[in-house]
Chains A and B, each alone.
Chain A
């Protein structure tokens, strides 16, 4: 497929959808939704084409696209994918499509909603596809405004507070990140924002450390790594279902992806030095996040805190600097996107029917709505890491990876992290016991089960959870060549060779 700029098409198809939606009068609700669905579906199809054409054994960046026009200031239009970014692109395309499916019955200003949703998709896809730091930053920021609007217009009761908190947190992080990007540009010779070129340059250790801290500020807030996680529960809980799905499913991954794409290859020395300092907050994420999740009575808040806990595994796997750990981290990013995306969809479905998210006000769903209850149980088991389902594979790899980490402290950290697993099982089982089992309260007598459309958008996720759980190599074969290559390059550069 030489010459066909498939990546640009993937990134900008949603944007074209946004523009088309803006041209339609807002009363034409049906055509707005149809356009949104088509744009997202075409994006997914293109991403699948990309997946099938992708050379899985090649660790290098593929499908490189460079614009012959100069943007000026050393900025280039430069896209490409490798085994680390491809799963993220697939995940983004899939979850956005499902989020649109889940928002099908939205009545409140659908024009703006779907326009923002597609704009957000372009931003997210752009982050994963760009190989130029400024382009990366532009796409990174591009997701911010639509997400702000999605939360603050279509969210729940405290939406404005949550939206502004999300905005200020991420923006502060990203302006500091920009400072780091500028420093990289001016310290490199010749001056460049090109990520691939920057990975070949050797920066002095002190400089690497300073830039690493600046970049990490932006990435860690997005992940979010303890203690920068406080925006997350508010934003997740107040966001509309589609917003929560994309926040948890994709936006959090952008932070971890930034660490892998930028910090690890460009700043190997600093990454190596600071890795233990990432592992400790990651551990706090795992254990503390799980404990706080257990204390929640709000179903959505519980899932939100479980995200904090699960993202801790991603960071722990990455910080261990072992092949298994990094593979596990990317795999866990993918799996967490699928599983938590599904859980947020389910919470949305429950809320639509019960108009409450309070766990104590629910009960006995299994007797009334068996399909919904069954899928909830399935999602909960996947999320707590039941072997055979995908949640297990990612977490297990992260744990193996971190346990075999070089420093002895990793063994201790990994051992403590297992507490997190136990607690995760505890709160999910308690949730199942109180929501799915038990006695149906009289207020829920009229509850109806899932309809065809709702089942339809949950099925792909269920399918993925089972397939990756049974045969994780589907994704790992994609990740492994690239992640091993970067890890080896890094180790030879730091430890000499």
Chain B
């Protein structure tokens, strides 16, 4: 019974549909929030139930049920729960609450399937499920022109990139006649001489580059993040990015590992471009969501370094980074959500004197920003250290040096926000109140940041066990 190992996905799907249907029959809208949370908690519980996945049914051939898939599925469910917690303030004002929560659940389903996809078709379908949910979510603030603009922009660019990716996948299929990653890997060496193979690599890199938001495929990111409702931007920055990284790991280090010589040169290059451009442009942003958007482009560059290391150690670093980044970035976005929902502003200068208006919010935002910058004691430091160490192990010292310089640059703009929070006197003294769900989300994420930053041992061990089996070099 391989189907039972998909119980978490089924639970989420069922609840997403139930929420939509219930909306038709009930005039009260306030329980969708709890329903969505229950769905995720149930899904989380069912992941840990010991269902065997050894059966040879069609579906278990389409999706991996390995420990890496489990890692990502757990991470995504936790991330989605945090997103739902911080969505409450915002969604309460919306007339389309049920649609919002069910789209969040659909997106969660999409990224969970993406991270476990084992062949090209299921991968593409889950990727489209994710993308379509996010197109709708980005444009969700209906009255807001910026949100609509962002949604349209994201839709058009997203569809084009999906096509590019699809074309690349089609070429791979045309060359090998296989869709499963393991089969592709065994047939692929016969096709190295084909020009179409190189073409397909280029398409794949461009397609994934768009989903991960690497430079030069990053143009949509700042607009989409700025226009999207803040919790959605948070979810995009951690969820769809991490899922795209999961697929990238599976395809490039699984299916295309034999063609390493063809693509391995591209990764350090894209990593350097992303972090450098992301950090430099982030320096001059005045809107905090745009700043976080550029910072997320830079962060993607650091993560890519872990893959560029082409080692189990590097992949462990990547996974750790994604985990740390999930907590850190959701924490930052949660603080911005709370701030924006009360003051209506997302300008960095309006964060002035936040420490006097809400010490808790100020501390949480500061911790998340310092963690993004990679200061010790916070998750970001261990994550950066992990990745840099893996790259240094491959003797790519120049790449580490570039990344370290970038870290120093990035600290400046994070620090400028911290300066506003603590040093610049406030314009208005009006205190900022944090609702209970947001407070819980902030506390959980700050706890996660500190735990991953101070006591990383158990996590590193778990992740090490995941990647050990992944790699055969």
Interface residues of A (CB under 8 A from B): 69-73, 112, 134, 137-139, 141-142, 144-145, 148-149, 152-153, 160, 164, 167-168, 171-172, 175-176, 178-179, 182-183, 185-186
Is B408 in contact with A168, judged by CB distance below 8 angstroms?
Answer: yes
Is B405 in contact with A175, judged by CB distance below 8 angstroms?
Answer: yes
B423: A residues at CB distance < 8 A: 149, 152-153, 160
Provide the bound-state CA to CA distance between A137 and B385, in Å: 11
A142: B residues at CB distance < 8 A: 376-377
Provide the bound-state CA to CA distance between A108 and B19, in Å: 52
Provide the bound-state CA to CA distance between A138 and B378, in Å: 10
Provide the bound-state CA to CA distance between A171 and B370, in Å: 13
**Which chain B residue shows the least CB distance to A134?**
B385
Is A137 in contact with B376, judged by CB distance below 8 angstroms?
Answer: yes
Known: A70-B457, A171-B411, A183-B397. A149 touches B385 (CB 8 A): no
Is B388 in contact with A182, judged by CB distance below 8 angstroms?
Answer: yes
> Does B51 belong to the interface (CB within 8 Å)?
no
Is B404 in contact with A178, judged by CB distance below 8 angstroms?
Answer: yes
Known: A138-B381, A153-B423, A182-B392. A176 touches B386 (CB 8 A): no
Provide the bound-state CA to CA distance between A411 and B460, in Å: 54
Is A182 in contact with B389, judged by CB distance below 8 angstroms?
Answer: yes
Which of the residues A149, A175, A185 comes within 8 Å of B404, measured between beta carbons?
A175
Provide the bound-state CA to CA distance between A71 and B377, in Å: 12
Which of the residues A152, A168, A183 comes within 8 Å of B412, measured between beta carbons?
A168
CB contacts between A and B, total, < 8 Å: 77
16 A-B pairs in the complex with CB atoms less than 8 angstroms apart: A70-B457, A72-B382, A72-B461, A73-B382, A73-B456, A138-B377, A138-B381, A139-B376, A149-B423, A152-B419, A160-B419, A171-B411, A176-B404, A179-B401, A179-B404, A186-B389
Interface residues in B449-463 by Cβ distance below 8 A to A read 455-457, 459-461
B393: A residues at CB distance < 8 A: 186
A168: B residues at CB distance < 8 A: 408, 411-412
Secondary structure at chain A's binding surface: helix, strand, loop or mixed?
helix
B397: A residues at CB distance < 8 A: 179, 183
Which of the residues B386, B407, B412, B422 comes within 8 Å of A175, measured between beta carbons?
B407
> Does B196 belong to the interface (CB within 8 Å)?
no
B460: A residues at CB distance < 8 A: 72-73
B408: A residues at CB distance < 8 A: 168, 171-172, 175
Provide the bound-state CA to CA distance between A176 and B400, in Å: 10
> Does B267 belong to the interface (CB within 8 Å)?
no
Known: A134-B385, A168-B408. A69 touches B457 (CB 8 A): yes
Is A138 in contact with B376, judged by CB distance below 8 angstroms?
Answer: yes
Is B415 in contact with A73, judged by CB distance below 8 angstroms?
Answer: no
Task: Type the 1/0 row for B360-398, where 1 means its CB is closer than 8 Å to any CB of A.
Answer: 000000000010000111000110011011001100010
**Which chain B residue shows the least CB distance to A69?**
B457
Is A167 in contact with B405, judged by CB distance below 8 angstroms?
Answer: no
Provide the bound-state CA to CA distance between A160 and B397, in Å: 34
Within the complex, the shortest CB–CB distance from B300 to chain A, in Å, comes to: 20
A149: B residues at CB distance < 8 A: 422-423
Provide the bound-state CA to CA distance between A176 and B382, in Å: 17
Within the complex, the shortest CB–CB distance from A81 to chain B, in Å, comes to: 22
Within the complex, the shortest CB–CB distance from A44 to chain B, in Å, comes to: 24
B461: A residues at CB distance < 8 A: 70, 72
Is A145 in contact with B388, judged by CB distance below 8 angstroms?
Answer: no
B411: A residues at CB distance < 8 A: 167-168, 171
**Which chain A residue shows the least CB distance to B404?**
A175
**Which chain B residue shows the least CB distance to A138?**
B376
Task: Type the 1/0 row for B393-431, where 1 means its CB is closer than 8 Å to any CB of A.
Answer: 100010011001101100110010001001100000000
Is A72 in contact with B456, judged by CB distance below 8 angstroms?
Answer: yes
A160: B residues at CB distance < 8 A: 419, 423
Is A148 in contact with B377, judged by CB distance below 8 angstroms?
Answer: no
Is B457 in contact with A71, judged by CB distance below 8 angstroms?
Answer: yes
Of listed A73, A139, A171, residue having the most chain B CB within 10 A: A73
Provide the bound-state CA to CA distance between A182 and B407, in Å: 15
**Which chain B residue shows the least CB distance to A111?**
B359
**Which chain B residue shows the least CB distance to A185?**
B389
Known: A71-B456, A72-B456, A182-B400. A141 touches B419 (CB 8 A): no
Within the complex, the shortest CB–CB distance from B381 to chain A, in Å, comes to: 7
